């Protein structure tokens, strides 16, 4: 074993000491027996053996006699005796014994009589109980230390109460590494000046916000922006997740908060970043623990610490959350997190800038057009785009390529949106129905005036879908016009309408289409006032979360008659859109049949192939015209 290596198992010193004491006690209490057995015999039998010259030696110790026989073989087969024996002289004594011993030539030894001390006997009898109760008491103390602060005692207790982050780092990330999010960067730029030169603000009586709340969807770069802020200002950066404050024992989280803020103040100017603030910052009074709940105790300590900053303490607290709706109002008041910075999903221009940041170390092929990749990824966050670049590089590595080509980006995009391509045995008639369904979406989407441009259509199974028709918007939409929404519903129901037109029946393949069309029609009626019968009245049953992209249920605030009117208006919108899709397919039935045959043959059709099959869409520019306009600038 090397000198630096630690033994796998080390016996504690207290355990060795306890073993030594037990062995000594047992040795005193129960002396080791001699090698040969010792038999206790009557005194009369001893006199008989002495008379028969069978005794070789004798030791007198008071009234006790210990002797050793010459041989025990002559005693007969039923009367065998061990070679060593003991006996006691009667209480009245035996005056003839010494003479008989001398006459028989027995070796005589006289030993000092042992005097028994009652106190020593009592202590020897009490010692096992003392050791037992002492060991039990030690176990209880160890169990208590484990519950409070770990096995190590007070040092581990202090370590248990300390925050997980004690040492700050100085990030090397700057605003140049944060592509897009120009509005958010402008909001926090003045904080950099304050951290670099706080006296310039304080001498004028200005107070820079102590708390900045970063809000946005997951993956929009909240943590990256906080690190970039610290990197630009070149100040210590403390980063911690709010969930790390929470422990089973009430008060531990509050103690960690105090120590973390004290550490940040000692190294001021500095930045303290709390990620996932909603894990401890939820509205108080909603938990079962009342005022003694650990989360509320931790939140109260955070509020107290943010109020306790002095003017000379240049510490800025940043926090990130994607659930600002659940935060306690006391966190959002002036003097705490009073500046709110929203990080939106990147638009097309920002997505291209983000891609350029992530491909710095990726060798790209000559055909890679990052502007086209950015245009084909609407709704992608910064984290999604980073994952897209990584997946593209992995696909190129699997093919042993030296560069990442455009087809790798397209395959990675399809994988992230639709799922991994899978091998599935599909019957010919089911494959034909699938081609009819997807061709219906394609034809209606091609000829509708307000639909998004088609990207490609496929009948190859990906993820949970057996096929798909992909449309990519040419521009970012922040509001949705009514005519665009009507075209969207017709596009969703076009696959079902094509099955009914060409096959005479419908299938369960339109399940997702019907669900999305109904949800969109209900939003038009109950939220956006796009129904003449209902009017501009808010009759929604759920609230859409601004960042998470999902509906949050809320109690119904309208009558049953209003609910019936909403259902009728939704049904009317959906049926009207399906009828419109069916009429459009009927008017282009020949082109629909041609597209079905081509799709069954090729399995995947891109925009150029779709245009050659269906011709130029009325009111839309074709691919060549769009390319010519791009070349002209």
Q: Kindly list the catalytic residues.
A: 438
Show contacts of 512-515: CB within 8 Å, 24+ apart: 512/465
Rounded CA separation 363/386 (Å): 15
CB-CB contact of 377 with 252 (8 Å): no
3-state per-residue secondary structure call for 561-589: HHHHHHHHHHHHHHHHHHHHHHHHHHHCH
Question: Rounded to the nearest 5°, which phi and psi values hold at 249?
Answer: -90, 130
CB-CB contact of 277 with 320 (8 Å): yes
Sign of CA dihedral 557, 559, 561, 567: positive
Structure tokens that stand for 559 in this block: 């009558």
Sign of CA dihedral 535, 540, 544, 546: positive
Residue among 239, 246, 323, 243 nearest 283 (CA):
323
Structure tokens that stand for 584 in this block: 């459009």
Rounded CA separation 106/67 (Å): 10
Beta bridge partners of 327: 282
Beta bridge partners of 341: 214
Rounded CA separation 501/510 (Å): 14
Sheet holding 55-61, edge to edge: 38-40, 84-88, 64-69, 55-61, 107-110
Question: Rounded to the nearest 5°, which phi and psi values hold at 139?
Answer: -60, -40
E strands in 186-332: 211-216, 237-241, 270-275, 315-321
Q: What angle do helix axes 589-602 and 607-614 make, rounded to 10 degrees?
A: 140
End-to-end Cα, the chain, rounded Å = 74
Percentages of the chain per state (helix, strand, coil), in multiples of 5: 50, 15, 35
Report CA Rg, the chain.
Answer: 45
User: How far, in Å, are 154, 222, 239 from residue 158 at the CA level?
Assistant: 6, 32, 21
């Amino acid at each position: 074993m090397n000198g630096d290596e630690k033994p796998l198992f080390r016996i504690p010193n207290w355990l060795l000491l306890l073993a030594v004491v037990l062995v000594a006690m047992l040795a005193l209490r129960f002396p080791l027996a001699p090698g040969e057995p010792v038999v206790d015999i009557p005194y009369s039998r001893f006199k008989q053996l002495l008379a028969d010259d069978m005794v070789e030696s004798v030791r007198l110790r008071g009234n006790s006699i210990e002797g050793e026989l010459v041989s025990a073989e002559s005693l007969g087969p039923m009367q065998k005796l061990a070679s060593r024996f003991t006996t006691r002289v009667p209480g009245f004594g035996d005056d003839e014994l010494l003479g008989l011993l001398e006459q028989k030539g027995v070796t005589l030894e006289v030993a000092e009589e042992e005097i028994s001390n009652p106190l020593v006997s009592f202590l020897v009898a009490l010692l096992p109980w003392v050791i037992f109760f002492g060991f039990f008491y030690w176990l209880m103390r160890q169990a208590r230390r484990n519950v409070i602060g770990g096995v190590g005692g007070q040092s581990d207790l202090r370590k248990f109460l300390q925050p997980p982050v004690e040492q700050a780092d100085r990030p090397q990330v700057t605003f140049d590494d944060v592509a897009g999010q120009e509005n958010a960067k402008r909001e926090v730029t003045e904080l950099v000046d304050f951290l670099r030169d706080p006296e310039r603000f304080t001498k004028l009586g200005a107070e820079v916000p102590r708390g900045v709340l970063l809000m946005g969807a997951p993956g929009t770069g909240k943590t990256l922006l906080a690190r970039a802020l610290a990197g630009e200002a070149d100040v210590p950066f403390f980063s911690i997740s709010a969930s790390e404050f929470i422990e089973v024992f009430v008060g531990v989280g509050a103690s960690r908060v105090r120590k973390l803020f004290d550490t940040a103040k000692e190294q001021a100017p500095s930045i303290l970043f709390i990620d996932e603030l909603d894990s401890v910052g939820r509205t108080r009074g909603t938990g079962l623990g009342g005022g003694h709940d650990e989360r509320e105790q931790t939140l109260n300590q955070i509020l107290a610490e943010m109020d306790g900053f002095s003017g000379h303490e240049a510490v800025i607290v940043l926090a990130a959350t994607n659930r600002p709706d659940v935060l306690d109002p006391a966190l959002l008041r002036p003097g705490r997190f009073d500046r709110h910075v929203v990080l939106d999903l990147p638009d097309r221009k920002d997505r291209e800038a983000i891609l350029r940041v992530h491909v710095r170390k990726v060798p790209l092929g000559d055909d890679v057009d990052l502007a086209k990749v950015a245009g084909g990824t609407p709704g992608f966050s910064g984290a999604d785009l980073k994952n897209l670049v990584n997946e593209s590089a992995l696909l190129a590595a699997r093919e042993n390529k030296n560069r990442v080509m455009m087809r790798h980006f397209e395959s990675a995009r399809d994988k992230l949106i639709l799922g991994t391509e899978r091998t599935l045995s599909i019957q010919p008639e089911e494959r034909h129905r699938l081609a009819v369904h997807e061709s219906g979406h394609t034809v209606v989407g091609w000829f509708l005036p307000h639909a998004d441009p088609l990207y490609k259509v496929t009948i190859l199974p990906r993820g949970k879908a057996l096929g798909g028709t992909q449309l990519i918007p040419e521009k970012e939409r922040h509001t949705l016009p009514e005519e665009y929404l009507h075209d969207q519903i017709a596009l969703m129901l076009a696959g079902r309408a094509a099955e009914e037109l060409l096959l005479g029946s419908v299938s369960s393949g339109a399940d997702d289409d019907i669900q999305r069309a109904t949800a969109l029609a209900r939003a038009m009626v109950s939220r956006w006032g796009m129904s003449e019968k209902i009017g501009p009245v808010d009759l929604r049953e759920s609230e859409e979360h601004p960042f998470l992209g999902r509906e949050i249920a809320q109690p119904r605030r309208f009558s049953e008659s209003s609910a019936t009117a909403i259902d009728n208006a939704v049904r009317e919108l959906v049926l009207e859109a399906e009828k419109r899709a069916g009429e459009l397919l009927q008017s282009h039935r020949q082109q629909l049949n041609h597209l079905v045959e081509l799709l069954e043959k090729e399995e995947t059709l891109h925009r150029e192939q779709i245009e050659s099959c269906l011709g130029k869409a009325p009111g839309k520019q074709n691919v060549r015209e769009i390319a010519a306009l791009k070349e002209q600038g």
